[in-house]
Amino acid sequence: MYLQHVYLWYNKANMNKLSLKKFLRKYPHNDACLDEIFKRKYSNGVDCVRCKKVTKYYKIIGRTAYSCEFCRTQVFPLAGTIFEKSTIDLRLWFYAMFLMIKTRSGVSAKQLERELGVCYKTAHRMFKQIRTLMDENGGDMLKGDVEIDETYIGGAGKNRRYVAHFNEKEKQIVMGMIQRSGKAYLKHIPNTGKWTLIKHIKENVDPKARIITDQLPGYTQLVKYGYKHDFVNHNETYVKGDIHTQNAESMWSNLKRGIFGVYRHCSERYLQNYANEYAWRYNNRGLGDGMFDKLLNQVVLVKVLKVGQLV
């Protein structure tokens, strides 16, 4: 009886898990993927511009278009999405998105190249486009207890912020603002000057929030802007009651392990995109495999105006 209960519990717990087997069954071909985008883009039906009412649209065989049952007006679900004008099969796009949400440390474009049988340039572009869907910086202001910290990406390990070494590459700086039990915003910033830090804090953190940082001098001016500010001196301790930046440190651990262990290298130009990917996973950690559904919704919500420009 005990083993039967364990078996039923295990099946129930894994019923909604998006395994590769379920993914392949749900999206067996391109038309199934196209239908999924069509349903999400026109969830309330298609309001035909000629018929002046919501009508039924049918898939046109051999094309990525749907036609009105009465006037034959056509709509193109992929228009304005990251899939527009792409010659790559939709099922391969969906699989790349599946890999992005099933891994916690990311997947390299080289690995995607091997799995999909495409060239490296194509694999890199696919991941770049998918990451544009993961930009959740801005929007809701962070409230409550907010940990703020910064980290340095790139260069040699001995290249610390206060030490100059000849011929060493300059490190890139990422600023993290993390609401405890809430969302995280990661920003690629040019420096750790007080005006740069305060600018991003004012844009993303509620004035009534309690901000917790380390002893960096750039944060000492926060009280002048109405913020309650507590800090921990890392030269003495890392935790003083509930005053700590451990959530931020955990974020840096995941980010750096991903960049150095999976991607191996991240250029200054794309660092914000990589930071968005890790922040998106953190912000949607409670969804589990539901992250794939949310990412598909982002395909519809994020509109592509032209190459490289999104709104």
Q: Where are the domains of the chain?
A: 145-283
Name the fold adopted by 145-283: Nucleotidyltransferase; domain 5 (3.30.420)
| pLDDT (0 to 100) of residue 305 | 54
Segments of the chain with pLDDT less than 70: 1-16, 138, 155-169, 304-311
Query: 157 to each of 153, 160, 161, how far by Cα in Å?
Result: 10, 7, 11
In terms of pTM, does the model score above 0.85? no
For residue 147, give the 3-state DSSP assignment. Answer: strand
- At residue 3, the pLDDT reads 35
Residues near 106 by Cβ (< 8 Å), separated by ≥ 6?
Answer: 100, 258, 262, 263, 274, 277, 278
Please state, in angstroms and rounded to a whole number, the distance separating the CA atoms of residues 260 and 257: 5
